[in-house]
Amino acid sequence: MMSGSTLHELHDRERLRALYDREPLVAVRARSILYGLQLPDVRILVDDPDQPRGVLLTHDGLLWDAYSPDPQVARDMLDRFRPAGRVIFFGVAGSLLEHVRRHFEVIAEIPALLYVLADRSDFRPALPVGEPLGELAPDDATLVSDAWTVHDFESPAARTSYVRSCIERGPSAAVLHEGRPVSFVLTHGDGSFGILHTDPEFRRRGLGRRVLSALVEKLLRGGREVFAYVGSGNVASIALMEATGLRAVQETAVVTVGGRC
């Protein structure tokens, strides 16, 4: 992934807690990856192994986090990051976007907002309505993938494979009509929730908020972080986030790069 870098690989995740605790809402994704899910095979790259001031989290073609309380430290670390090929910078902070555009070959950029349930007491659950509530099944992967309007995957087959892995790992929530999911949401590999979708003929019935509320309840019961990246122009999803008690804490973007300029 990197060559000629002065970044250092860190193996003791606990040494980063104090750093991430300085801005806990902004750092929610990193805390989910490192301490909630404890995902294996994540490369932790820091500027200083003795006293880290900034962190890059990378894995399998993803830059999951580029964080420092000091934006200049984060920019300096990105300057040392030398991807060998295509990498998706997922959730780049708005303060770093211009730097990424100047120094990397940007293939695609999708503006987003980071929404977080800051406190359990902020959660406003939906009232039960209508159709029975269940979960997504692995056999629903193609249906869910077809409803997901993202373009970061190399092929539809790769996107469907990723969706299936998310469904299998769980949790998810779905409203079922005659056994078919017509409104659903699932949990991504980093612990965020997403692919919140309701079929057009079933909209304006409160189903989207119902499945979102059900998934939030599952995440809270499991002691998980509750957060999502929502497209900046996705008015319907933003309204659902706010009605459920989540609030926007950061402007971000998903940026696909082909390497350095």
Tens digits of per-residue pLDDT, 191-209?
999 999 999 999 998 999 9
Find tokens 């060559």 and name the residue: 3
The pLDDT value given to residue 153: 75
Q: What does the DSSP 8-state code read for residue 36?
A: I
The pLDDT value given to residue 5: 59
Count other C-beta atoms under 10 Å from residue 259's C-beta: 13
Say which amino acid occupies 14.
E
Same CATH topology for 8-113+252-260 and 124-225: the answer is: yes
Of 3.40.50.1220, 3.90.110.10, 3.40.630.30, 3.40.50.10190, which CATH number belongs to 124-225? 3.40.630.30
The pLDDT value given to residue 1: 41
Question: Using CA atoms, how far apart are residues 208 and 147, in angstroms rounded to an integer?
Answer: 14
Tens digits of per-residue pLDDT, 84-134?
888 999 889 999 999 999 999 999 999 999 999 999 999 999 977 666 789
Half-sphere exposure of 8 (CA within 13 A, CB side): 12
Tell me yes or no: is domain 8-113+252-260 CATH 3.30.450: no
b/e code 115-147 from CB counts within 10 Å (16+ = b): bbbbeeeeeeebeeeebebbbbeeebbebbbee
Tens digits of per-residue pLDDT, 130-180?
667 899 999 999 999 999 877 667 788 989 999 999 999 999 999 999 889
Whether residue 185 has pLDDT greater than 90 = yes
Whether residue 3 has pLDDT greater than 60 = no
Question: Using CA atoms, how far apart are residues 159 and 144, in angstroms rounded to an integer?
Answer: 10
The answer to whether 260 and 105 have CB atoms below 8 angstroms apart is yes
Tens digits of per-residue pLDDT, 43-55?
999 999 999 999 9
The answer to whether 172 and 184 have CB atoms below 8 angstroms apart is yes
The pLDDT value given to residue 57: 96
Whether residue 2 has pLDDT greater than 60 = no
Tens digits of per-residue pLDDT, 7-29?
999 999 999 999 999 999 999 99
The answer to whether 55 and 68 have CB atoms below 8 angstroms apart is yes
The pLDDT value given to residue 82: 87
Question: Using CA atoms, how far apart are residues 27 and 42, in angstroms rounded to an integer?
Answer: 16
**What is the domain partition of the chain in residue ranges?**
8-113+252-260, 124-225
- Partners of 108 in the β-ladder: 256
- Partners of 247 in the β-ladder: 116
Work out whether the CA dihedral 124, 127, 128, 130 comes out positive or negative.
Answer: negative
Sheet holding 180-187, edge to edge: 133-134, 172-177, 180-187, 193-198
